[in-house]
């Protein structure tokens, strides 16, 4: 364990990494299609990126790296459940407090309306670039 690294965060990160590994092995068709889109757009990204909060962690499906700092969630059918809705609200609050932005799409949007998803993503990326140069 690194010196000066809080024990709580150390174990939290180990748990998050283990959970992330399972998510990477069982990705949905929508996530794979969105990953192909990001590669096509030549964006630097991380799949199943981990974000640590004070008492929990969040894993987003994709994190588009500097200078965009955009987290993207592809919501499947499990996001309509009550327990998951609470977790999504906590995740949204975390990203609103941080310098990162969160963008959500449903599986159906990604699989059936990829052109619309690409346009929305491009608009978000341009918006961030405008903020950097102003």
Count of domains observed in the chain: 1
Does this model's pTM top 0.85? no
- Whether 91 is covered by a domain: the verdict is yes
- Whether 2 is covered by a domain: the verdict is no
Residue with the bigger pLDDT between 123 and 22: it is 123
**Domain span at 56:** 7-133
Give yes or no for a contact between 19 and 59, defined as CB atoms under 8 angstroms apart. yes
- Whether 75 is covered by a domain: the verdict is yes
What is the domain-level CATH number for residue 87?
3.40.960.10
Angle at 101 between CA 99 and CA 102, to 5 degrees: 145
Residue 33 three-state SS: helix
Q: For 35-48, how does the pLDDT look when each residue is reduced to its tens digit (9 = 90+)?
A: 999 999 999 999 98
pLDDT of residue 3: 42
The secondary structure element, H or E, covering residue 130 is helix 114-133
Q: Please enumerate in sequence order all residues whose Cβ is within 8 A of that of 48, keeping only pairs 6 or more positions apart, or say none.
A: 20, 23, 24, 59, 60, 61
Report whether pLDDT(109) > 70.
Answer: yes
């Amino acid at each position: 364990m690194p010196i000066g690294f809080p024990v709580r965060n150390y174990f939290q990160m180990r748990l998050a990494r283990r959970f992330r590994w399972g998510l990477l092995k069982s990705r949905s068709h929508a996530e794979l299609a969105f990953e192909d889109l990001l590669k096509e757009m030549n964006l630097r990204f991380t799949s199943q990126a981990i974000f640590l909060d004070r008492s929990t962690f969040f894993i987003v499906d994709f994190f588009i790296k500097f200078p965009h700092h955009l987290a993207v969630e592809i919501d499947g059918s499990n996001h309509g459940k009550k327990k998951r809705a609470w977790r999504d609200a906590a995740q949204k609050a975390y990203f609103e407090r941080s310098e990162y932005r969160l963008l959500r799409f449903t599986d159906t949007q990604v699989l059936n309306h990829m052109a619309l998803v690409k346009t929305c993503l491009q608009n978000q990326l341009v918006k961030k670039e405008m903020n950097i140069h102003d």
